[in-house]
A and B are shown apart, each in its own frame.
Chain A
């Protein structure tokens, strides 16, 4: 414990090298021969679209995916490492700070910092030493708080600092931060980035996963770009005398989205009609009572037969917007109206929203979209029971027929509609969710990341269903983090950042660079 401040002097080789890492999940190759080299005392950014493999790579590094579950090698200071769990990687001086913070809210700052390696003698905690040491660490991360404060009383930004202090207490040499600023406001973000620079000067090497181009260019020394499970390139950022970086944001965007668009999306068939739905000044607060805005004055219009895209990075407020519009299922409604054919439509509860013709296909289909231990039939009719019942009494025959008809229409591959949805593949589960909402005969279908975690075959079928629905005259709002999907499917695209609509571009002629620029545009309207 006493040697905490002493660090091995930087040697010639890199602190970390990962070589040829390959990691497969059932049906998906998440990492395909990724190599990454991080030098001592640098801030190394890891960038890429959602699903590019950043988090998986960091899970390999931190031992969440143990040695043996992937191929390739991990070397720290030139020594090959075999991590069978997070404890092993921590012993090697690697600490990861996740997006979802891993603090225990009921415990104090000190208790959290020393959780698992308490300052104790014969099992009795030495509170004096604990608080004193915690105080030191808090000073180091610049957090002015009493170490005995429970973590639940701290803001998200302060909790992040406690996490870093906790990592420092473990003599961290390599600190990994996964989207550390996504839940922070401007001032908190700046403070955190300053801290990273300080720590770097004290010899703590850092890997920063971030979607925010501005902050990456500001603090990072190297940038590795991942795409489709491969390391595309590593860029070196030099800064001249007045701190202007040698790399600009456009250069990074090109690397991130470099893939060519090919024929992975079916062509549009129907005609676009007039405006059917109009959202005005939709404003929602986060449910945590902090008063932070989740959605800030969003205005948008949706036309009959039109597929409208909503692009944005993680935490931009797209899901929050969609769920709030859908019967105020998220956060605290502040203000805003939904007009349907010019008249105000009721959205006060989910039942009202469904009656107003809205359907929401959630991002997390397993917990929000389906009852996994029930069969396809019951899941299909769940949101529109009145279509298969009269005066509250179900008609099982009609239900069976309607469910199998919908199942066929959605091309669900199953042994029949009495198969439990838990036993279906991800793509087929998603088709059941789609079928469930199609069964409500929606006029506005909101799809939230409808193809996440789905293989390419099922993806194409889902695109076909969306196209057909639009051709039948419904409005579709497609929320996606995959820009090729947005560009391939949408007639018009809104971009969101930090709860605000930051741009609106026609789908025709739009490109990924433009969208990425709008999606990362912070600080107000264009």
Chain B
């Protein structure tokens, strides 16, 4: 009898730590389990400094897309065009760099702007004309794939300037010969300190408002785990070449988007529009404009992913980015997004993308072919969402039962404890 109580309490604490999303919490545990599993299966190859660095670089563009996709899915839409937009922005960037000879510092902002325009185009149809996003972005998938072929003339453009390639495969400077990469360790320490500061700051502010807070030892333990995780991670990176440039970019994106979605009115409005568009509209939120900007944002991030992918490949190819949209969508759903909108977090999308990434990488390391990789990834997606739905249904039936058994709730139905003659109403009938 005692066990369910303990596990549900654990789940609740876990849920609070993770922002109250059970699937996300479950997937965080699953991610750790998958890492441990492959670490054992590969005989320690998975977590070698080289491979961890590779993991980040291989998955960077999917992570970038997954963040944007999470926002789109939170508003209750979908974007099938991101793979084609990645290819198109990559192709245009490559042309600008090679044929036109423009410098990277000019090309990158132009590519982001191009992404924004594409996002605005799709957002216009979805938000204002109210064409379903599935259709708009399916069209976009074809349009921008076609545009990519047209721009490239069906051929690859390569090689590309070093400045661009550094974005995807460069490292932070500061490596002096052998030994650990000090700037990376320093950044890790700073990051850990910042997180601990935020954790304790939130706690003391909550206390200032008289809100219940976790006991100090619990917060201390959380902080300790955070610090250790970050230091271990940066230590592994520092043991190889240090923090990749794209890793820094990712950290900034994850932190920035998490902040916007959790702590700003803008983020709150995105959740409200996805949760109930009508209720949001009747609360004074400009729902169409919100949807429009979410698509613009997706376009910008697709442009960024396009640059990173092209830089990593050192080439713009007509087939670039194929199936990226599906990886990004799968990441968002594995990470706790709801297909009906209104639910999902940036950290969740990141966890979802990492689950997929580690599975890919781990299975490659132990020599499983692409056939098995696809099959297993598909099953993981299906099971993650099915498990969550099953879990939610179980939870949904519980509060009603527990409420009925609580004496203070019993009075509500019959109006027993309320200061009005409820009995009379009954007698009148």
B-contacting residues of A (Cβ < 8 Å)?
27, 32, 228-230, 259-260, 262-264, 326-327, 329, 349-351, 353-354, 360, 362, 367-374, 378, 382-383, 385-386, 389, 392-394, 396-398, 400-401, 413, 415, 418-419, 422-423, 425, 427, 436, 455-458, 460-461
Residue of B271, B281, B422 near A374 (CB, 8 A) is B271
B418 A264 Cβ-Cβ under 8 A:
no
Bound Cα distance from A326 to B263, whole angstroms: 29
Contact A401 B210 (CB under 8 A): yes
Known contacts: A367-B276, A371-B272, A383-B284. The answer to whether A397 contacts B264 by CB under 8 A is no
- Nearest-neighbor residue (CB-CB) of B211 within chain A: A400
Which residues from A are CB-within-8-Å of B265? Answer: 385-386, 389, 392-394
Interface residues on B, range: 35 or more
Whether B400 lies near A396 (C-beta < 8 A) is no
Contact A457 B206 (CB under 8 A): no
Contact between chains at A373 and B429 (CB < 8 Å): no
Given the interface pairs A369-B279, A371-B276, A389-B265, the reply to whether A457 lies near B413 with Cβ below 8 Å is yes
**A368 with B264: CB separation less than 8 A:** no
* CB-nearest residue of chain A to B266: A392
* Chain B residues, Cβ within 8 Å of A351: 284-286
- A371-B206 in contact (CB<8A): no
Contact between B429 and A350 (Cβ–Cβ < 8 Å)? no
Is A397 a contact of B211 with CB atoms below 8 Å?
A: yes
Whether A371 contacts B275 in the complex (CB less than 8 A), given A262-B424, A350-B282, A400-B206, comes out as yes
Q: Specify which chain A residues have a CB less than 8 angstroms from the CB of B420 in the assembled complex.
A: 263-264, 456-457, 460
* Most chain A beta-carbon contacts within 10 A, residue among B269, B281, B284, B342: B284
The smallest C-beta distance from B421 to any residue of chain A, in angstroms, reads 6
17 chain-A/chain-B pairs, Cβ below 8 angstroms = A229-B429, A329-B281, A350-B284, A354-B283, A362-B282, A368-B279, A373-B343, A382-B268, A382-B280, A392-B266, A413-B409, A413-B412, A425-B403, A455-B414, A456-B415, A457-B413, A457-B416
Q: Is the C-beta of B396 less than 8 angstroms from some C-beta in chain A?
A: yes
B176 at the A/B interface (Cβ < 8 Å)? no
On chain A, the residues within 8 Å of B275 by CB distance are: 371-374
The residue in chain B whose Cβ has the minimal distance to the Cβ of A402 is: B209
B20 at the binding interface (Cβ < 8 Å): yes
B48 interface hit (Cβ, 8 Å): no
Q: In the complex, what's the smallest C-beta–C-beta distance from A377 to chain B, in angstroms?
A: 11
Q: Lowest 8 CB-CB distances: which A-B pairs, in order?
A: A457-B415, A371-B275, A351-B284, A383-B283, A397-B209, A460-B420, A385-B265, A350-B284
A392-B264, A397-B211, A413-B408 known, 14 other contacts, Cβ within 8 Å: A263-B420, A350-B285, A369-B282, A374-B271, A382-B272, A386-B265, A394-B265, A396-B202, A396-B263, A397-B205, A436-B283, A455-B413, A455-B415, A461-B418
Is B215 an interface position by the 8 A CB rule?
no
Q: Which residues of B contact A (CB under 8 A)?
A: 20, 202, 205-206, 208-211, 263-266, 268-269, 271-272, 275-276, 278-286, 338, 342-343, 396, 399-400, 403, 408-409, 411-416, 418-422, 424-425, 428-429
Contact of A401 among B209, B268, B428 (CB under 8 A): B209
CB pair A423–B422 under 8 Å, yes or no, is no
Whole-angstrom distance between the Cβ of B315 and the nearest chain A Cβ: 41
Q: Is the CB of B400 within 8 A of A398?
A: no
Cα-based distance from A358 to B408 in the complex (angstroms) = 35
- Contacting pair A262 B429 (CB below 8 A): no
Rounded to whole Å, the gap between the CB of B16 and the closest CB of chain A is 9
Residues in chain A near residue B399, CB distance under 8 A: 415, 419, 423
Per the bound structure, the CA–CA distance linking A155 and B409 in Å amounts to 49
Give CA–CA (A307, B206) in the complex, Å: 39
Q: Which residues of B contact A383 (CB under 8 A)?
A: 283-284
Q: A329-B282, A460-B419 are in contact. Are A371 and B412 (CB under 8 A)?
A: no
Q: Given B211, B268, B400, B429, which contacts A394 in the complex, CB threshold below 8 Å?
A: B268
For B286, the chain A residues whose CB sits under 8 A away are 349, 351
Instruction: Assess the A228–B429 pair: CB atoms within 8 A.
Output: yes
Q: Which residues of B contact A260 (CB under 8 A)?
A: 428
> Which chain A residues lie closer than 8 Å to B414 at the CB level?
455, 457
Contacting pair B400 A378 (CB below 8 A): no
A393 CB contacts on chain B under 8 angstroms: 263-265
Min distance, Cβ A453 to any Cβ of chain B, angstroms:
13
| B221 CB, nearest partner CB in chain A, Å | 22
> Which residues does chain B contribute within 8 Å of A329, judged by CB atoms?
281-282
Which chain B positions have C-beta within 8 A of A413? 408-409, 412
Q: Cβ of A457 and Cβ of B428 under 8 Å apart?
A: no
Task: For residue A33, give the distance in angstroms from its CB to the closest CB of chain B.
Answer: 10
Bound Cα distance A414, B285 (Å): 27
Give complex CA distance A259, B428 in Å.
8
Which residues from A are CB-within-8-Å of B338? 373
Docked CA distance A386–B266 (Å): 11
Beyond A351-B286, A397-B208, A398-B209, whether A385 also contacts B415 by CB under 8 A is no
- Shortest A240–chain B CB gap in Å is 37
Q: Is the CB of A401 within 8 A of B211?
A: yes
Contacts of A401 in B (CB 8 A): 209-211
Q: Are B412's CB and A378's CB within 8 A?
A: no
Distance in angstroms between the alpha carbons of A254 and B283 in the assembled complex = 41
A401 to B343, CA, bound (A): 23
Q: Return chain B residues, CB-CB under 8 Å to A425.
A: 403, 412
Task: Tell me how far the C-beta of B128 lies from the nearest C-beta in chain A, rounded to whole angstroms.
Answer: 15
Q: Give the CA-CA distance A456 to B264 in the complex, in Å.
A: 39
For residue B208, which residues in chain A have a CB less than 8 angstroms away from its CB? 397
Contacts of A456 in B (CB 8 A): 415, 420, 422, 425
What's the Cα separation between A394 and B278 when bound, in Å? 23
Chain B residues within 8 Å of A228, by CB: 428-429
Which single residue of chain A is at the shortest CB-CB distance from B338? Answer: A373
Q: State the CA gap A218–B283 with chains docked (Å).
A: 45
Query: B274 to nearest A CB, angstroms?
Result: 9
Residues of A with C-beta under 8 A to B428: 228, 259-260, 262
